[in-house]
Amino acid sequence: MKKYFIKTFGCQMNVYDSWRIAAMLNARGMTATKTVADADIIILNTCSVREKATNKVFSELGRVRDAKKPDAIFGIVGCVAREVGAAAFHRIPELNFVLGPQSYHRLPEILSDPDTKLLNIDLTGLEKFDELPQMTTAPTVSYIPIQEGCNHCCTYCIVPYTRGREISRAFDDVMRDTLHAAKTGAVEICFLGQNVNGYKYTDENGKIFRLSDLIRATAKIPEIRRIRFTSSYPTEMTDDLIQMFATEQKLLPFLNMPIQSGSPDVLRRMNRPYSLHAYMDIINKLRAARADIQISSDFIVGFPGETDSDFEQTLEIARRVRYINSYSFKYSPRPHTAAALMPDQIGEKVKRERLAILDGVLNEIQREFNETCIGKNLTCLYEGADKTGRHLLYRTPYMQQCIVARAENPKQMANIEITAANRASLRGKIVD
């Protein structure tokens, strides 16, 4: 029986895509292996959001080339495939295929003709979702892509190039996938999209469907206990969506809504044309809808021209909003982006220093938030046992990890009293 090896880099969208690729290979009678040397086909699903991510792919490709069986075929799919295209064959001449994020369903072509070099990095739309088969069982937390691509064109971001313009999937298709997930094991649904709250689908009768419609319909599925979505663009948080936090109790009180920088000047150069006033207005509306909501953000430090005072403003907004579960990155110049050509690129040392300072502030806020959870009862979702087997791991509604003592037959959803906290996790005991 033929074996496949898939390694996934990058975002949840890639994790999901790899899962569908695996379903397709399973359907062709192949099985997964975790060892490159055992595999007949090796697929790296790649990320190009930062330069480091792209470099990682090429060093991994070198390793794969040396470790694989001589007749095994290997290639890259995803964002690096789209970023570098045919040049990938020049860098690694033995490569068999290079398929962009919207061409995965072309993989069978290389299986039937392994002697060709298969290159397809066209942005063809989302037919991959119709063509790739489904897995027979869904994970407890199921990610469902609802749109792909982005129309915002932030000047630092390669995604509009790699994933193209925004396309929303049909409402019925998303709900069919959601129901399938619910009937085969999903308890939590996370709707995915590069610009998820920009989801907009118009059916043949002209009826418009928004993310709020997907949330309302999903909340009616009994098996689904928790709903969330990621990642949101701030000014696309429309009132209908904000209202969902007031009316749908299954929607978790946690929202990823990246601000990227707290400086109006930097935001302008990033082509993220919202004022801090407008951004805070959205946060206030969200808190009015759901008092206990918490927000997470992504930040970029060292964007071209970022001054000390710009950076101070980023620290200020972080403290003001009190973001939890956030990510911060050093600006990385990417091909096909406007910011890579901007003057006043910031040196590595300054980027590193600013990142350390911001991480310090974010960690402190996280620790303080985690401590405010002590004494509270939170309804948490079971994830599995820890490595030692002595504890069970649960996930709180704010995506914190919560550690409890081992018990027989752990409940999938448990009401947990939080007894201790540090920056990284909570501890608690199951109440019921």
Residue whose CB is nearest to ligand 5AD in the complex, by number: 298
Q: Which is nearer to ligand 5AD, 67 or 361 (CB)?
A: 361
Does 11 engage in binding with ligand SF4 (CB under 6 A)? yes
| Piece of 8-16, 223-231, 288-296, 312-320 that binds ligand SF4 (CB under 6 A) | 8-16
In the set 260, 314, 366, 370, which binds ligand 5AD (CB under 6 A)? 260
Q: Which residues contact 364 (CB under 8 A, 6 or more apart)?
A: none
Q: Going residue by residue from 194 to 233, which x/- string records binding to ligand 5AD, judged by CB under 6 A? A: ----------------------------------------
Minimum CB separation of residue 241 from ligand 5AD in Å reads: 19
Minimum CB separation of residue 11 from ligand SF4 in Å reads: 3
Q: Which is nearer to ligand SF4, 36 or 159 (CB)?
A: 159
Helical (H) or strand (E) element with 17:
helix 12-27
In the set 39, 47, 192, 358, which binds ligand SF4 (CB under 6 A)? 47
Strand partners, 330: 301
Helices H, strands E: what count in the chain? Answer: 14, 22
Look up residue 358 and give its amino acid: L
Give the Cα separation of 306 and 120 in Å (integer): 38
Does 18 engage in binding with ligand SF4 (CB under 6 A)? no
Minimum CB separation of residue 162 from ligand SF4 in Å reads: 5
Does 295 engage in binding with ligand 5AD (CB under 6 A)? no
Helical (H) or strand (E) element with 394:
strand 391-395
Backbone angles phi, psi at 247, to 5 degrees: -100, -25
**What is the DSSP code string of 177-235?**
HHHHHHHTT-SEEEEE-TTGGG-EEE-TTS-EEEHHHHHHHHHT-TT--EEEEE---GG
Does 329 engage in binding with ligand 5AD (CB under 6 A)? yes
Q: Which does 18 bind (CB under 5 to 8 A by kind): ligand 5AD, ligand SF4, none?
A: none
Does 48 engage in binding with ligand 5AD (CB under 6 A)? no
**What is the DSSP code string of 338-376?**
SGGG-S-PPPHHHHHHHHHHHHHHHHHHHHHHHHHTTT-
Could you list the residues that contact ligand SF4 (CB under 6 A)? 10-11, 13-14, 47-49, 78-79, 158-159, 162-163, 194
